[in-house]
Amino acid sequence: MSKYINLSYRDALKSAIREALKNDERVFLMGEDVGHYGGAFAVSKGLLQEFGPERIMDVPLSESGFTGSGIGAALAGMKPIVEVMTVNFSLLAMDQIINNAATLLHMSGGQLNVPVVIRMGCGIGRQLAAQHSHSWEPFYAHVPGLIVLSVGTHEDARGMLLSALESPDPVILFEYTSMLNLEKEIPEDAGAVDIRQAKVLKQGKDLSLITYGTGVYKCLEAADILAGEGMDVEVIDLRVLRPMDEETFLTSITKTHRALVVEDAWRSVSISSEVAARIMEKAFYELDAPVERLCGVEVPIPYPKHLEDASVPQVYDIVEKVTKMLRP
């Protein structure tokens, strides 16, 4: 049996980067303050001293410039890990990501692969206010040519990067800043994970809770509370937002016949919109009740803690919503 170790989300991310650098000399990390400063969130702290400035590369404050450099390095046979400090800064690199990384394979008639991995600090919950608090996974999940992954658990924080680096296509990794200090037990030998499928984290028969990112641990906690009240819910971590693994949640619906989709992103034109639409298109006759959603309130994220908490679904919101769905 595997031994388990207690690891913070931050250290799981760092451990994955370190292993990737050790495994392949083509891998390097580039981004703002990733070297001497150790990363804006200390994820890369100590790696410059361990691997040197050619593998841990500080770059100028130009997201378009250094993301484009990463794409060029990938085209030239390297395996760059491009770190965008927070997801809002990625808007400055969207031309490179969407018009170059995502399209070159198609526009070259299959001649040019772009094996770049772009990591983005994401999410809500560290009082970073409207400038830096965003759940913009739906923006990127809309784009053909990208693989979009949500790092919602510690095992995925340890393993998704390693698998992403094996992809011939560009991968966007959403990492959640509110979880950086959170500690969980993972197998000591945890490594690369499957980045093609969603994952059922808890089996249940009464309702399917479908989520990703920071919603994962919230839904698992809510499921434990609901179990104490006699309600048995299934928890699914979508993990792969593009190409979405619909088979996992559609299979779950055939068992539970009810669904609640939970996410921090704004409700309009969201991941939950897509999930709900696919359930209605492909599993309508399996439903005993309408698909429901719990999403972020459609306002710029406030700075005060109590307002920030109120702007995205919390555990008690999930418990209350499921209770109303199962015991109207």
What are the sequence ranges of the domains in the chain?
4-187, 199-326
36 is known as an active-site residue: no
- Domain covering 199-326, topology: Rossmann fold (3.40.50)
Write down the pLDDT at residue 128: 86
Residues 22 and 320: their CA atoms lie apart, in Å, by: 47
- Report, as ranges of residue numbers, the positions in the chain whose pLDDT lies below 70: 1
pLDDT in tens, 233-261: 999 999 999 999 999 999 999 999 999 99
The residue whose two tokens read 């395996």 is: 79
- What are the backbone dihedrals phi and psi of residue 287, each rounded to the nearest 5 degrees, phi first? -85, 135
Task: Please choose, from the candidates 315, 124, 323, the residue with its C-alpha nearest in 3D space to the C-alpha of residue 218.
Answer: 315
Residues 158 and 33: their CA atoms lie apart, in Å, by: 22
Write down the pLDDT at residue 131: 87
- Specify the pairing of strand 240-242 against strand 259-266: unpaired
Asked if 4-187 and 199-326 have one fold, the answer is: yes
Catalytic residue, candidates 32, 63, 83, 137: 63
Beta bridge partners of 123: 134
Residues 194 and 229: their CA atoms lie apart, in Å, by: 34
Write down the pLDDT at residue 1: 62
132 is known as an active-site residue: yes
Residues 132 and 92: their CA atoms lie apart, in Å, by: 14
Residues 98 and 237: their CA atoms lie apart, in Å, by: 26
Write down the pLDDT at residue 127: 84
Inter-CA distances, 55 with 65, 157, 162, 214, Å:
18, 21, 16, 30
Q: Please give the model's pTM, rounded to 2 decimal places.
A: 0.95
Write down the pLDDT at residue 19: 97
Residues 20 and 304: their CA atoms lie apart, in Å, by: 38
Q: What is the assigned CATH class of domain 4-187? A: alpha beta
Write down the pLDDT at residue 164: 98
Residues 200 and 103: their CA atoms lie apart, in Å, by: 32
Q: In this structure, what token pair is assigned to residue 48?
A: 């410059």
pLDDT in tens, 100-156: 999 999 999 999 999 999 999 999 988 888 888 899 999 999 999 999 999 999 999
SS3 content of the chain, % helix, strand, coil (to 5): 40, 20, 40
DSSP per-residue string spanning 239-301: -EEETT-HHHHHHHHHHH--EEEEEEEESTT-HHHHHHHHHHHHSGGG-SS--EEEEE-SSPP
Catalytic residue, candidates 19, 32, 132, 308: 132
